[in-house]
Structure 1
Amino acid sequence: MGSTTDVIAAPAPSPARPPRRPPGRRMVSWLDPLMLARTGVRAAISATIGKQADRRLLDALAAPEVEPCDFSVDAAGKSRKELWLDYVADLGDGWDSTYAVAQTVARPTLTVTDETGTSYETHGGEVLVFGGDEVYPTASVKAYDERTLQPWTAAMRGQRPPPHLFAVPGNHDWYDGLVSFIRLFCQGRSPAGWQTHQRRSYFAVKLPHGWWLIGTDMQLESDIDQPQVCYFQEIAKLMREEDRVILCLAEPAWLVAQVRPPDHRSYLENNLSFLEDQVLGKKVSVFLAGDLHHYRRHANDEGRQKIIAGGGGAFLHPTHVPRKEAPLAEGFTARKCFPSAKESRRACWRNLGLVTSNPRFGVLTGLLYMLLAWALAVNIGSASVTGAVGLVVGTALASPGITIISALVILGLIGFADSRFGRWRWLVGLLHGLVHLTAAFLIAWGVAHLMSSAVGLSFRNPVRDLISAVLIFAGGFLAGPTIMGLYLLISLNGFGAHPNEAFSSLAIPDWKNFIRLRIAPDGRLWLFPIGLRRVPRSWKPGETARDPEWVPDPRDRRATPPALIEPPLVL
């Protein structure tokens, strides 16, 4: 062992330069071929096995109690006069977006201003609700830890006491059969210091002044299973006639059929009506849902609210679909969206730079274009475009390889075309495929023409072949994503098709939002919709123990502070 003198005399290590960005993950790249394949397999397995082994039935047997969590009284048993809650949905994607929301929620107090300049002081919720899709792209213990727990743990450090946590599962939480979700949120654990109470994937919480918070699980086949029905029927017996309900759903049943393909979950509204009329026996005052990654509110003349607030950290979804919204039941009409339809339409133009946000998709198209060029295997460099076309057609007719590859490309893109195109879907996919094939031919012709005229090498020369392959790959790397981006731009802004693909491909981290709720001493419910127009991109370590682990770098001048999306709603 070294002496004390040796230890003292040892030179102190030079302080490491503090990182300007935490060691986190980027936004999910939804056009990454490998990621899409893995997610597709997990989704297929979940759908297939889940139909035969509904995890909710097993959990109901393991946790038969139906007593709701009672937050109408405090720890001393005294009636609460006031309670603050936070609702955050669709989180666990990129670090910047997820952490920016978490840090805002974690503040003990937050002063926000609405469009009129009026300021309101809000308090961090004692109850925190995760409204669905707590992690992307698929659920696992590792994914939850890296994409959800780590940013939220860092955000809560040095702030207010950890809140009581309740969680609603979304379809991405179901991709491992709900195993990781149950382990994290339903077994009495304390992830990130939170206090969890629910023992099933749905819950009921009694709140002050006759308010109730209900969280459902309708993901599997979009149904409400019998044990869940029995659970909420028992909860309904505890409600008084004048009590009011805040209902948390994984998907907005009132709008999902209009923004998803026509056959997508059209029966969600039937389940919702059944829950209101036959199970709870009363109309819901406030509906809260995620799944669509933006803020959108509908209301009727009775003051009932249907709010989509899926801005907890996932990529942005467009708000300019549906192009013309069909009337909603019970007189609900659109009141506010964030971002606006105009801003959403403008953001769609980013698809023209798709290669920058999805470079791995460019690798796929580069390889595909190179494969098509090799399948031609003709010297078209010295021919004109017209002559080259003749050579290509002749080669295609004589070569089953090029015919099969071309047919697969076209059939794949016909299958990719949105069902919103209706009977024109096959034509849209055919034209999309022909544009890619034409681009591959033009790139191959251009490279061959360049090599034959500018390089003094014979056609069979290996060096020439290698250079040609690299150039064709580079052309496909740039042209393929650009054509796809143009297709998505025209489809969405022109025809209202491909809203999910056109915006998931962009992985926009901005336009985040969450709902802060306050049950006031007079029994009224205040809803504060809080938005972050642009989240920080640069961070620095917190300087004191009272700071969160990371704070925004003041040099990131484009980041915007949290503000009210619209004036508070009072019920």
Structure 2
Amino acid sequence: MAVRASDVSRIPGQRTRPEPPPETPPGKPMVSWFDPAVLAKSGVKALLSGTFGRQADRRLLDAVSQPQDLKFDYSEDNPQHPRDELWLDYVADLGDGWDSTYAVASAVTAPELVLTDASGKAHSTRGGDVLVFGGDEVYPTASVGEYQARTVVPYEDALNRRRHRPDLFAVPGNHDWYDGLVSFTRLFCQGRHSNGWHTRQRRSYFALKLPHGWWLLGTDMQLESDLDAPQVEFFTRVARKIAAADRIILCNAEPDWIKQQVTPHAGRDFLDNNIDFLEQKVLGKRVSVFLAGDLHHYRRHEDADGRQKIVAGGGGAFLHPTHLPKVDQRPGGFVQKACFPSRQTSQRLAWRNLLFPVINPWFSVFMGVIYTMLGWGVAANLNEGAVGAPPFREVINAALQSTGSLVLGAGVVLGAVAFADGRRGPHWKKAAGVVHGLAHMAVALLLTWGVSAVAAPLAAELQWSLRRDFFSGLLLFGGGALLGPLVVGVYLLLSLNVFSCHPNEAFSALSIPDWKNFLRLHIDTEGQLTVYPVGFRRVPRRWKRGRGPEEPVWVPDPADTRATPPRLIEPPIVIGRTKALPVKLGAGPPGPTGVMVDEHPPGGAV
């Protein structure tokens, strides 16, 4: 029996959704990833899910306890509801800050959306009958409460009875797995119907039969970035139902075609290659479109046959950079055709790391405490009997004689080594971490020297040593809260813009809500697939209540003049049911991607 939206609030352990104030949206701000509390909670969740997920794979249990049909039929062959065309929306990496998640949800759930491209040409689109979440449906970690506040409520308020509720299918990402997939399964795999969607899937993976020989397959890569054996068997059985001339849209949670380039030292083990087996041996070249999230930007690669590999992880989470040099082209002929934001914009945005202390205030407090612990004992020793500013060599000698400072300093260096990015190899990781840690030690020593120089003239006035040492501690805390995060920001900026490392850390620290995206797909009556990549340059920051059921619950406040409407990132990508070939003279007009459709399907499918 399906569960009504009102029943969602009765899920055990979930608090009832409060009524929002009349003019205040009920959402949450962007996740502050360098908040020590968030770091600790996410780290523990990741450790537990990684440890127990390997031992008790939820997918193996669901394969036995949750029967599911091989396909959900949205084609013209469906006897109950035949479709000669279909609109479908793809949204990945959502459920973060209210402004970004709700802005995307408002566009996705609109009955109609007119999109302009760079030339000013308008394209009329319709809201999808099917909605696919492509992974990481909530941040920072999965729980019923976080799903409700960051994902369910924004889509319910955005739809607001403006049109029919779409059928939702969700692909789990690593953040959905941080509670062992428990909350994901309860929300998306048990027939629960919210006011924003219907759910039909019973497992964390699925197959959709679409009109005119198109199929959409959604996989579950778990935390190990691979498929379990029952899932491979499921898709092998599905593949037997797919004709040689049919085309497939394959949705994975992660873009392996990019990750294998930027992290070459983390390649798959021989035993962990089920996703490769599925793509290459089971499905073959029937896969015309690869869709993935996980990287929070838009990027499209295309090969000479017109096959597409698209990353569209802009559903609401913080922005990821697009200016890493190793992902422009990969062996196999897939060449980058577009990205959003541009490489130049991405490189410029990285300079915001110089504002690290301001953007991450709680991390500044944390670093202030660390620097105080590093230098307070040294400063107290220097203050004893001081009559002037001590030479810097005395600061070094005092630090070397302080056991507590040495132990904590070693911990800082080891922590920096553990934090360092290992994508350039283990030796690079150690070297970068040691340099980063020693930079903190050098800055802490200079700060302690400066604090001692300031406290020395006051030694006669502050005769009570405890009062004097307390004053030194305040100076160390304030200086550490400013300089410590600044060192981290400079390290991340140089790592990313010079050495192409730390893309996740350098941009998660910024929590940029803008440059969002989603994909709108249309299969027309002729069997042609058109992909509309929709982008948001700047999402609204201010909202007001809508005027009725013809509008969302919340609409952008006209006073927020800097917000920009959704528009096409690039011209629509047109893909035929069969193999696409480069345009030849006299062969006819090309489509928007500069390719035309051949009459013969490609070989290679199993």
* Smaller-chain TM-score bracket: over 0.9
Aligned to 1:141: 144
Judge conservation of contact 1:257–1:266 (CA < 8 Å) in 2. no
Aligned to 1:501: 505
1:355 corresponds to 2:354:
no
Aligned to 2:371: 369
Quick one: which of 344, 365, 369 aligns to 2:346?
A: 344
The residue type equivalent to 1:426 in the other structure is K
Judge conservation of contact 1:254–1:269 (CA < 8 Å) in 2. no
Indicate the larger mover: 187-196 or 286-295. 187-196
> How big is the shift at 1:280?
3.1
Which whole-Å CA distance do the structure 2 matches of 1:141 and 1:365 have between them?
A: 32
Which whole-Å CA distance do the structure 1 matches of 2:262 and 2:295 have between them?
A: 9
Aligned to 1:523: 527
* CA deviation vs aligned residue, 1:101-156 (integer Å, no higher than 9, x gap): 00111110000011111110000000000000000111111111111111111111
> How big is the shift at 1:532?
0.2
Which whole-Å CA distance do the structure 1 matches of 2:388 and 2:296 have between them?
A: 50
> How big is the shift at 1:272?
3.6
* CA deviation vs aligned residue, 1:507-539 (integer Å, no higher than 9, x gap): 100000000000001110000000001101111
* CA deviation vs aligned residue, 1:172-210 (integer Å, no higher than 9, x gap): 001111111111111111133411111110000111111
Quick one: which of 562, 565, 569 aligns to 1:558?
A: 562
1:543 corresponds to 2:540:
no
Indicate the larger mover: 418-427 or 196-205. 418-427
Indicate the larger mover: 335-344 or 403-412. 403-412
Which whole-Å CA distance do the structure 1 matches of 2:185 and 2:419 have between them?
A: 34
* CA deviation vs aligned residue, 1:243-293 (integer Å, no higher than 9, x gap): 110110000011112234631657799434311343335530101000000
Structure 1 pair 242/57, CA: closer, same or farther in 2 (3 Å)?
same
Aligned to 2:588: none
Match runs of 1:261-276 below 5 Å: 262-263=265-266, 265=268, 270-276=273-279
> How big is the shift at 1:437?
1.8
Cα RMSD, aligned residues only: 2.2
Aligned to 2:170: 167
* CA deviation vs aligned residue, 1:455-507 (integer Å, no higher than 9, x gap): 75235443333332222211111111111101111111011111111001111
Aligned to 2:391: 388
Quick one: which of 216, 224, 229 aligns to 2:219?
A: 216
Which whole-Å CA distance do the structure 2 matches of 1:285 and 1:383 have between them?
A: 77
Match runs of 1:37-186 below 5 Å: 37-73=40-76, 77=80, 79-186=82-189
Match runs of 1:85-484 below 5 Å: 85-260=88-263, 262-263=265-266, 265=268, 270-280=273-283, 282-321=285-324, 323-325=325-327, 327-376=329-378, 377-379=380-382, 387-422=390-425, 423-453=427-457, 457-458=461-462, 460-484=464-488
1:491 corresponds to 2:492:
no
1:533 corresponds to 2:561:
no
Which whole-Å CA distance do the structure 2 matches of 1:362 and 1:268 have between them?
A: 43
Structure 1 pair 532/194, CA: closer, same or farther in 2 (3 Å)?
same
Judge conservation of contact 1:529–1:566 (CA < 8 Å) in 2. yes
Structure 1 pair 316/267, CA: closer, same or farther in 2 (3 Å)?
farther
The residue type equivalent to 2:332 in the other structure is E
The residue type equivalent to 2:128 in the other structure is G
Judge conservation of contact 1:253–1:268 (CA < 8 Å) in 2. no
Indicate the larger mover: 54-63 or 74-83. 74-83
Aligned to 1:4: none
The residue type equivalent to 1:398 in the other structure is Q
Indicate the larger mover: 323-332 or 187-196. 323-332
Structure 1 pair 261/502, CA: closer, same or farther in 2 (3 Å)?
farther
The residue type equivalent to 2:440 in the other structure is H
Judge conservation of contact 2:87–2:523 (CA < 8 Å) in 1. yes
The residue type equivalent to 1:364 in the other structure is F
Judge conservation of contact 1:222–1:268 (CA < 8 Å) in 2. no
Structure 1: 5+ residue stretches without partners? 1-15
Which whole-Å CA distance do the structure 2 matches of 1:328 and 1:424 have between them?
A: 23
Judge conservation of contact 2:246–2:286 (CA < 8 Å) in 1. no
Structure 1 pair 76/456, CA: closer, same or farther in 2 (3 Å)?
farther
Q: Which runs of 4+ in 1 moved over 6 A?
A: 266-269
Aligned to 1:378, the other structure's residue is in SS state: helix
Which whole-Å CA distance do the structure 2 matches of 1:330 and 1:269 have between them?
A: 21
Which whole-Å CA distance do the structure 1 matches of 2:163 and 2:301 have between them?
A: 33
Which whole-Å CA distance do the structure 2 matches of 1:526 and 1:440 have between them?
A: 57
Structure 1 pair 188/72, CA: closer, same or farther in 2 (3 Å)?
same
> How big is the shift at 1:74?
8.7
The residue type equivalent to 2:299 in the other structure is R
Judge conservation of contact 1:315–1:503 (CA < 8 Å) in 2. yes
Which whole-Å CA distance do the structure 1 matches of 2:442 and 2:90 have between them?
A: 49
Q: Percent same amino acid at aligned positions?
A: 56
Aligned to 1:87, the other structure's residue is in SS state: strand
* CA deviation vs aligned residue, 1:215-241 (integer Å, no higher than 9, x gap): 001124222212112211221222222
Judge conservation of contact 1:42–1:138 (CA < 8 Å) in 2. yes
The residue type equivalent to 1:562 in the other structure is P
Which whole-Å CA distance do the structure 1 matches of 2:543 and 2:271 have between them?
A: 41
* CA deviation vs aligned residue, 1:34-82 (integer Å, no higher than 9, x gap): 2111111111111111111111011010123433111114986353111
The residue type equivalent to 1:517 in the other structure is L
> How big is the shift at 1:324?
3.5
Judge conservation of contact 1:184–1:191 (CA < 8 Å) in 2. no
The residue type equivalent to 2:422 in the other structure is S
Aligned to 2:251, the other structure's residue is in SS state: strand
Structure 1 pair 420/78, CA: closer, same or farther in 2 (3 Å)?
closer
Judge conservation of contact 2:68–2:203 (CA < 8 Å) in 1. no
Aligned to 1:51, the other structure's residue is in SS state: helix
Judge conservation of contact 1:84–1:124 (CA < 8 Å) in 2. yes
Structure 1 pair 74/354, CA: closer, same or farther in 2 (3 Å)?
farther
- Taking structure 1 as the reference length, the TM-score comes to 0.92
Which whole-Å CA distance do the structure 1 matches of 2:349 and 2:481 have between them?
A: 23
Aligned to 2:544, the other structure's residue is in SS state: strand
The residue type equivalent to 1:375 in the other structure is G
- Taking structure 2 as the reference length, the TM-score comes to 0.87
Which whole-Å CA distance do the structure 2 matches of 1:78 and 1:136 have between them?
A: 36
